[in-house]
Amino acid sequence: MQKLRNTTTLGNNLRTIRKKCRLTQEQVVARLNLLNIEITRSYYSRYETGELNIPVETIVALRYVFQCSYDELFQNIRPDIQ
């Protein structure tokens, strides 16, 4: 299973988009479960805080739930070039 490295920015983007959609974490989780993404609210909250990596299929499902673009999901995320 591929995963994207989670950052606080991605978590912040998820929280911002969720609130813009006027959804609670519980509602997001319920919609993800309907899309066969088995997740709990406490687990999802750890995505928003940047504690957990997000599987690619979950990113795709979140885009569908939020009806947003990938650009919006990944807004302000820049490569860490040293």
Please list, in sequence order, all residues whose beta carbon lies within 8 angstroms of the beta carbon of residue 34, skipping any fewer than 6 positions away: none
Confidence class of residue 79 from pLDDT cuts 50, 70 and 90?
Answer: low
* Closest C-alpha to 36, from 57, 19, 52, 20: 57
Looking at residue 78, what is its pLDDT? 72
Going by pLDDT thresholds of 50, 70 and 90, the confidence category of residue 53 is: confident
- Could you tell me the domains of the chain? 3-73 (1.10.260.40)
CA distance 29 to 31: 5
- In this structure, are residues 4 and 53 in contact, taking their beta carbons and an 8 Å threshold? yes
End-to-end distance of the chain based on CA atoms, in angstroms? 28
Question: Is residue 44 very low, low, confident or very high in pLDDT (cuts 50, 70, 90)?
Answer: very high
pLDDT at 54 over 70: yes
Average pLDDT, the chain: 89
